[in-house]
Amino acid sequence: MTWEPVIGIETHVQLKTESKMFCGCAVAFGEEPNTNVCPVCLGLPGALPVTNGRAIEWITAIGLALDCRISSTSVFHRKNYFYADLPKNYQISQYDIPVCHDGHLDVDVDGETIRVRIERAHMEEDTGKSQHVGDGGRIHQAQATLLDFNRSGVPLVEIVSRPDIHSAAQARAYAQELRAVVAELGVSDARMEEGSIRFDANVSIRPAGTSELGTKVEIKNMNSFRSLERAIDYEIGRQIAALERGKRLVQETRHWDEEAGITHTMRVKEGSSDYRYFTEPDLPPLALDAEWVEKVAATIPELPAARRSRYAEAGLDPQIAAVLSAAEPELRQLYEEAVASGADPAAAANWVTGEVTAGLRRLERSPEEAFLTGQVIAELVGMVAAGELSSSAAKEVLSGVMEGEGRPAEVAEKRDLLQISDSAELEGMVAAVLDENADAVERYRSGEAKVIGFLVGQVMKASGGKADPKLVNELLRRNLES
């Protein structure tokens, strides 16, 4: 039997607002435990939450970027469950009226585009962190649990996809695209390894061609895109193997073990858990009118998908377009300015994503610190196109520019890197080489075409490496075939 995986992804995005969701404490990471806390985020008796307006603005931006509809009135709910790092033993979250609902994200994977529908994006608060100490840190043998509430109350946006994903590769592509959107909006650090963006996958399988959903398993603890893909692949395989051995799957949450490369049971859901949601009486409903939503919409920058297709239309190779689109904003700006200064887009993109990126990384400098502007790139690209620089000479020119030696033309001049692309000057060298290598000429004429490479090499040698090899090749052929 062929099996079809059915996957939905739940994404938690930590917003990098200045203050927490419901109090004035700073949102900061890596600080001493329990230093960014107050009566509200510690759940002290009598403390009350007040909604962070910026967070609402940002979740709205996320929703708009995902083509969601924005609820004109949105309501907070209490989600009740007991856990030591949940200070109030309820989480302020949203239930039936999330801020954003019914959107989608188009994802390119293996040359095709799939549309993943977004069921909802809602606002909630993060929990604190538990650290179990003693006996290897596993919860069951731990001697003590240490709690850090610095993260408690950090704004979280939960984005729930529909089960429109059918392979681990698609899941990875969806996650990467979603991360790119969130990063573009500038509302989160969106770093998987730091947990500022977290993806949980709901995985089930069903016989291909059927429409009923199989038993759903939630997998957690993937902290890179690679582990997300591996975990899903593993889980699909595990489920297929189980069903094919005639076993029944149970609805459960499984933990991805990165080292072992397997998932294992975390908790089995007995019936559906009952969080006893009810409207948060401490917070009035959010009123998000159309005019306000318009204002938020106006702040949304060009999103990665739109940028990639704009790049592709400009003639960039899709791979390069994707790399450039995901590059640092200052690199993209360098590209945009180079094109505006007349550079060929494809060539400018190649330079920016290739040599420029590598050079900056090596020097640990910003484009500005490395004397790079759009005009500089355009000039360099222009010189290559005009045959004034060989590609290897151009690389040397670039590194000269980045060392502060001047503009490309000046550097090429100073370092004597300009190509000889004057036919008259080259004709003499070509004639001399043909004279000195009569046997090679003979072999070429008797059909050994590859000998031309040797001859080109001789001319290049005679020119001290400065001849334009393309032109040399052309001149040789003309002479040999006349």
Sites of contact with another protein (CB under 8 A) = 39, 42-51, 78, 80, 82, 84, 87-90, 145, 147, 272, 274, 276-278, 281-284
Q: How far is the CB of 78 from another protein (least distance, A)?
A: 5
DSSP structure string for 160-188: EE-S-B-SHHHHHHHHHHHHHHHHHHTS-
Nearer to another protein, 90 or 311 (CB): 90
DSSP state, 104?
E
Asked if 213 and 204 touch (Cβ cutoff 8 Å), the reply is yes
User: Nearer Cβ to another protein, position 148 or 164?
Assistant: 148
* 475, 423 Cβ separation under 8 angstroms: yes
CB atoms within 10 A of CB 382: 19
* Rounded least distance, CB 288 to another protein, Å: 16
Both tokens of 155, joined, read 């704004």
Quote the least distance from Cβ 24 to another protein, whole Å. 9
Which residue, 49 or 400, has its beta carbon nearer to another protein?
Answer: 49
Beta strands in 110-224 (DSSP E): 112-125, 129-133, 144-148, 155-161, 197-207, 217-222
Q: Which is nearer to another protein, 59 or 412 (CB)?
A: 59
Tell the smallest beta-carbon distance from residue 52 to another protein (Å).
11
CA distance 418 to 393: 8
Question: What is the nearest approach in angstroms of another protein to the Cβ of residue 331?
Answer: 43
Q: Taking the complex as a whole, how short is the minimal distance between the CB of residue 188 and another protein, in angstroms?
A: 25
Which burial class, exposed, middle or buried, applies to 9 when counting CB atoms under 10 A from its CB (0-12, 13-18, 19+)?
buried
The three state secondary structure string of 284-295 is: CCEECCHHHHHH
Q: How far is the CB of 223 from another protein (least distance, A)?
A: 25
Residue number, 88 or 172, with CB nearest to another protein: 88
- Closer residue to another protein, CB minimum distance, 143 or 319: 143
For residues 141 and 210, which CB has a smaller minimum distance to another protein in the complex?
A: 141
CA atoms lying within 13 Å on the CB side of residue 394: 24
Looking up tokens 């469950």 gives 81
Residue 209: left if φ>0, alpha if ψ -120 to 50, beta else—which one?
left
Determine contact, residues 327/336, Cβ cutoff 8 Å.
no
Q: Rounded distance, CA 4 to CA 337, Å?
A: 47
Indicate the residue among 50 and 241 with the shorter CB distance to another protein: 50
- Least distance between another protein and beta carbon 294 (Å): 25
